[in-house]
């Protein structure tokens, strides 16, 4: 069986695209042709119709971006918010993306003690219907991480240096050895990752590093050569292609850059307004293509 990470890297190279398209269905940003704003006046009562609209939206986005990305990343909170109907839309979204040949990085940031982490892995990384990989939180240490890595065809992306403004509250605390917490977390993840390395030299244990901290990103690429990075924070959160360039190795491997709102809701931006809300998927396709080319343009490929 092929390692998850080798499969991901292969698909990235086939498409020559180092982007990841987030599927974060912000209800108040959806085109009215898909989601009738009247339904939002009572979300609880209309959760089935809203969940159905989300699925339709996702399917159109996935079809539109499938040529330009190897991987999509649904953010679980937006589906969990709509209860079981939302979770059904999530599973259908995963199924649809798999059919289109895309890999699925499920963004759930799950974490718990070993026996419970195993239950989460069984829930979301099962062979038949699950995602290909899941984001996790490393605060519990090694025995909260390894249960997500038992199946070599699946991967886990551990939070390392997150993109949000207050990520430094804990992650930037200064340690007695002169390092910061996130650096020591990086080394810890790097050690844990050794056992899960594929032929590519990268590991099924990957990490999340925000594009909003380009200095740390460059440093972490050098510090942990076997950790593949998921990089959120491009676009809406403020990061640009030059900010993420250092995340890639000399072969242009080692990272995918995520954009969610910037692609999903491109139709709302001045730059794409000629498309109109009804053609939101065409706007998303062009935004994904442009982002793919933007990232590639800063690499020496």
Question: Does residue 67 belong to the site contacting a copy of itself (CB under 8 A)?
Answer: no
Q: Which of 227, 1, 9, 8 is nearest to 127 (CA)?
A: 1
| Binding positions for a copy of itself, 176-215, rule CB under 8 A | 176-178, 181, 184-185, 188
Question: Does residue 122 belong to the site contacting a copy of itself (CB under 8 A)?
Answer: yes
**Region near a copy of itself per CB under 8 A, out of 60-68, 122-130, 246-254, 275-283:** 122-130
| Binding positions for a copy of itself, 135-154, rule CB under 8 A | 137-144
Question: Does residue 112 belong to the site contacting a copy of itself (CB under 8 A)?
Answer: yes
Residues in the chain: 301
CA distance 227 to 207: 6
Instruction: Give residue 192's Cα distance to chain centre.
Output: 21
Q: Which of 292, 301, 217 is nearest to 258 (CA)?
A: 292
In the complex, the smallest distance separating the C-beta of residue 294 from a copy of itself, rounded to whole angstroms, is 23
Catalytic residue status for 269: no
**Region near a copy of itself per CB under 8 A, out of 13-21, 156-164, 262-270, 284-292:** 156-164
Contact yes or no for 102/74 (Cβ under 8 A): no
Q: Which of 163, 87, 161, 164 is nearest to 131 (CA)?
A: 87
DSSP 243-287: HHGGGS-TTS-SEEEEESHHHHTGGGSGGGGGG-GGGHHHHHHHH
Burial code (b: 16+ CB inside 10 Å, e: under 16) for 225-237 equals: ebbbbbbbbbbbb
Given the residues 11, 41, 100, 109, select the one marked as catalytic. 109
Packing angle, helices 280-297 and 47-65, rounded to 10: 50
In the complex, the smallest distance separating the C-beta of residue 36 from a copy of itself, rounded to whole angstroms, is 20
Nearer to a copy of itself, 60 or 172 (CB): 172
| Binding positions for a copy of itself, 22-41, rule CB under 8 A | 24
In the complex, the smallest distance separating the C-beta of residue 57 from a copy of itself, rounded to whole angstroms, is 16
**Region near a copy of itself per CB under 8 A, out of 84-92, 194-202, 221-229, 267-275:** 84-92
Binding site for a copy of itself (CB under 8 A): 24, 44, 75, 77-78, 80-81, 83-84, 87-88, 91, 109-114, 116-117, 119-120, 122-124, 128-129, 137-144, 159, 162-171, 173-178, 181, 184-185, 188
Residues with catalytic roles: 109
């Amino acid at each position: 069986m092929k390692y998850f990470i080798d499969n991901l890297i292969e698909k990235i190279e086939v498409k020559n695209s180092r982007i990841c398209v987030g599927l974060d269905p912000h209800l108040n940003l959806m085109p009215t042709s898909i989601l009738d704003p009247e339904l939002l006046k009572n979300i609880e009562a209309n959760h089935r119709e809203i969940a159905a609209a989300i699925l339709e939206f996702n399917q159109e986005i996935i079809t539109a971006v499938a040529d330009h990305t190897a991987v999509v990343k649904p953010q679980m909170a937006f589906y969990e918010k709509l209860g079981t109907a939302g979770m059904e839309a999530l599973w259908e979204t995963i199924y649809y993306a798999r059919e289109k040949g895309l890999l699925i990085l499920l963004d759930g940031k799950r974490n718990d003690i070993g026996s419970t982490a195993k239950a989460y892995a069984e829930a979301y990384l099962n062979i038949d219907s699950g995602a290909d990989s899941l984001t996790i939180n490393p605060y519990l240490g090694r025995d909260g991480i390894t249960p997500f890595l038992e199946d070599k065809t699946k991967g886990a992306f551990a939070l390392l240096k997150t993109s949000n403004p207050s990520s430094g509250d804990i992650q930037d605390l200064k340690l007695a050895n002169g390092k910061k917490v996130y650096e020591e977390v990086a080394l810890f993840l790097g050690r844990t990752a050794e056992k899960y390395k594929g032929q590519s030299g990268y590991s099924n244990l990957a990490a999340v590093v925000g594009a909003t901290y380009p200095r740390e990103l460059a440093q972490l690429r050098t510090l942990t050569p076997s950790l593949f990075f998921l990089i959120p924070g491009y676009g809406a959160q403020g990061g640009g292609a030059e900010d993420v360039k250092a995340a890639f190795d000399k072969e242009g491997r080692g990272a995918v850059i995520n954009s969610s709102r910037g692609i999903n809701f491109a139709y709302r931006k001045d730059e794409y307004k000629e498309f109109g809300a009804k053609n939101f998927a065409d706007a998303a396709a062009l935004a994904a293509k442009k982002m793919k080319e933007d990232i590639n343009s800063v690499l020496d490929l």
